[in-house]
Amino acid sequence: MKRMLWGCLLLMPWLAEAADLEVANARVRMPPPVSETAAVYMDIRNADVQAHRLTGVTTDAAAMAMFHGRDMQALHDIRLVPGEHYAFAPGGAHIMLMGLKRVLHAGDRIRLSLQFDGDRQLQVQAIVRDMR
């Protein structure tokens, strides 16, 4: 019983942290079938009282994934202001997938893993949308 309580106590901070960063509306711009790249968009909300940083992204759908600004320059670190949304959106910052491993069709889902400061991760599913 004592061990279970300790277990709960240890788990609690993790649960709280998982809930304070929320991802919504994750989608992939369906690329032409011959394309090796694609952009992923999503909204990340930092519901915490302190700032967080998004530090990395990986996916099994592509050889490489990285954050890009509108000017296509790589962003290494994205600051998430407490109580605010950060939007990866068309014509703005986006997650760029390079070296797609398969053709993406509208309605497909790809998995991404977002890494945040403090060794935290969030698993996200993004839906492929035909945005032509």
Partner 1 sequence: MQAWKTGLAALLMLGCIVGAAGLYAQRLQPSIPAYLARMGGDFALQSATGTVHLHDFRGKVGLLYFGYSHCPDVCPAALGVMARAMRQMPQALADRVYALFVSIDPRRDTPAHLQRYVSFFDPRMTGVTGTPQQLAALAADWRLEYVVPKAAADSQYTVSHSNFIYLINAQGQVVALFDEKTSPDAMASLMRRWLGR
Residue ranges binding partner 1 (CB under 8 A): 29, 31-39, 63-64, 68, 70-73, 90-91, 94, 96-99, 131-132
Contact (Cβ atoms closer than 8 angstroms) between residue 94 and residue 112:
no
Q: Which is nearer to partner 1, 71 or 119 (CB)?
A: 71
Give 82's strand partners: none
CA distance 46 to 44: 7
Rounded least distance, CB 28 to partner 1, Å: 9
Q: Which is nearer to partner 1, 16 or 64 (CB)?
A: 64
Contact (Cβ atoms closer than 8 angstroms) between residue 24 and residue 42:
yes
Residues ≥6 apart with Cβ < 8 Å to 80: 21, 44, 46, 51, 52, 53, 54, 86, 116
* Residue that is written with structure tokens 């999503």 in the block: 42
Q: Which is nearer to partner 1, 45 or 68 (CB)?
A: 68
Rounded least distance, CB 8 to partner 1, Å: 44
Rounded least distance, CB 64 to partner 1, Å: 6
Rounded least distance, CB 40 to partner 1, Å: 9
Q: Which is nearer to partner 1, 21 or 28 (CB)?
A: 28
71 secondary structure, DSSP code:
T
